[in-house]
Amino acid sequence: MSVAVVLKGYPRLSETFIAQEIYILEREGIELQLVSLRHPTDPHTHPIHSKIHSPVNYLPEYLYQEPLRVWNSWRIARQFAGYHRARQIWLADLRRDFSVNRIRRFGQSLVLAAELSEKTKHLYAHFLHTPASVTRYAATIRHLPWSFSAHAKDIWTTPKWEKTEKLADCTWAVTCTENGYQHLAALANEGDQLHRLYHGLDGDLFSDPGPIASDRDGSDSDFPVRILSVGRAVPKKGFDVLLRALAQLPGEIHWEWRHAGGGEQLHSLKAIAAELGLTERIQWLGPLPSEQILYWYRDSDLFVLPSRITPSGDRDGLPNVLMEAASQRLASISCALPGIQEFIETEHQGLLVPADDATILSGAIRRAVTHPALRRQFGLAALQRLREDFDHASNIKPLLALLSSASKSR
């Protein structure tokens, strides 16, 4: 079968879960054409990206940058029987969301529809918002089945009307947490195909569980407990709360924090750290490829991800970094958000605390820092949970069946 996979950007360091899915789909013999709405901006790529050989078609990121390409695509697309129906759908969307972004989506869909290979039997979008819109319009133009995979922000910040209509129009949809599934299921009509499908973690990429956790307990200034966080510096990650939690730790507890990731708030986080007098205890590692991230997992004693729900509704689903940490027997502290609770049960695979509470988070960190045996217990339990229920090879089988079914039903 031949499938066009529509992505917001490719390749991206923060979307390892998408790269591992693409890699396995390729390995299973599915012919893919990757379609990216944006050009890459990260300074590195993961090793898995070099194993992916599917061609990438970069659509015009801004329509004014490639006017002739857009114009020629419109001339081609309007010859397809589905063009007028796609235009009607887009105009109805535009009336409810009159924005430059909505106009850009239709322009990109024209290019996608015009340049799509004749062999393509299915269009599959990652993320329910912009990529699914471009995919829906293009699939309608070409009269092809389409589907989407919904994750986190795209579920909670997309308008209700848009989610309902996309669920009704697509061939099938998947989402990566039970919490997201229940939310979308409440909007779906009878007969809509919606499936909960965890991403899981590719055991080939994180096969070695690393060394046994250290006995560091924060009592020795020469051997501070090494705390790691991996994630973009954006509001939903809650790293500002973590900084305030670290500042509340007693002076006799010795620790250092490493942060891996880029993001829009990195400068402000460094300013907060300086204000709190923490600069000397922090390493800002920046965005890193997975093989370097793996080193820092193995060189750390505790993983902390203080996720929150922002006022806009943006939030994490089930962050892959929690599973990556678990693959290295690294104990985690995170927040009791629904998606995270599907992987970590507090006091079993780690500790979960209320979001946005620096004092409670500080207490949990203090407890984990000063009790290395507890960290080992949590790390082993998380690794077992990962292997039993979140193996990527097992979780991708339903996706392969869905793609195969869609291509046969064309």
Which range (197-211, 285-299, 367-381) has the least confidence?
Answer: 197-211
Q: Which pLDDT score is estimated for 391? A: 86
Residue reference for tokens 């012919």: 31
For residue 213, is it within any domain?
no
∠ CA 29-131-120, nearest 5°, is 35
Contact 94, 103 (CB under 8 A): yes
CATH code for position 398: 3.40.50.2000
**C-alpha to C-alpha distance for 288 and 29, rounded to whole angstroms:** 30
Q: Which pLDDT score is estimated for 96? A: 97
Q: Which of 318, 319, 322 is nearest to 333 (CA)?
A: 322
Q: Which pLDDT score is estimated for 95? A: 97
Angstrom distances, CA of residue 310 to CA of 307, 313, 315, 347: 9, 5, 7, 26
Whether 184 and 48 share a structural domain: yes
- Mean local confidence (pLDDT), 166-176: 96
For residue 370, is it within any domain?
yes
Q: Which pLDDT score is estimated for 149? A: 97
pLDDT at residue 409 tops 60: no
Whether 196 and 334 share a structural domain: no
Whether 325 and 401 share a structural domain: no
Q: Which pLDDT score is estimated for 406? A: 66
For residue 208, is it within any domain?
no
pLDDT at residue 203 tops 80: no
Domain of 159 in residue numbering reads as 2-200+391-408
Whether 108 and 196 share a structural domain: yes
**C-alpha to C-alpha distance for 138 and 327, rounded to whole angstroms:** 39
Contact 4, 116 (CB under 8 A): yes
**Confidence category of residue 408, pLDDT binned at 50, 70, 90:** low
By percentage, how much of the chain surpasses pLDDT 70? Answer: 99
Whether 117 and 252 share a structural domain: no
For residue 6, is it within any domain?
yes
Whether 308 and 325 share a structural domain: yes
- Mean local confidence (pLDDT), 266-272: 98
pLDDT at residue 80 tops 80: yes
Whether 293 and 258 share a structural domain: yes
For residue 206, is it within any domain?
no
pLDDT digits (tens, 9 = 90+) for 351-407: 999 999 999 999 999 999 999 999 999 999 999 999 999 988 888 889 999 998 865
Contact 125, 135 (CB under 8 A): yes
pLDDT at residue 262 tops 70: yes
Residue reference for tokens 């106009």: 103
Whether 155 and 289 share a structural domain: no
Which pTM value belongs to this model? 0.91
For residue 38, is it within any domain?
yes
For residue 209, is it within any domain?
no
What is the token pair recorded at 28? 């299973």
- Mean local confidence (pLDDT), 291-302: 94
Whether 77 and 140 share a structural domain: yes
Average pLDDT score, the chain: 95
pLDDT at residue 200 tops 90: no
Whether 229 and 194 share a structural domain: no
By percentage, how much of the chain surpasses pLDDT 90? Answer: 88
**Confidence category of residue 175, pLDDT binned at 50, 70, 90:** very high
pLDDT digits (tens, 9 = 90+) for 125-147: 999 999 999 999 999 999 999 99
Whether 46 and 168 share a structural domain: yes
For residue 237, is it within any domain?
yes
Element (H, E) at 293: helix 290-298
Based on the structure, what is the number of domains in the chain? 2
Whether 397 and 364 share a structural domain: no
Q: Which pLDDT score is estimated for 101? A: 96
**Confidence category of residue 208, pLDDT binned at 50, 70, 90:** confident
Nearby residues of 169 by Cβ (< 8 Å), 6 or more positions away: 136, 146
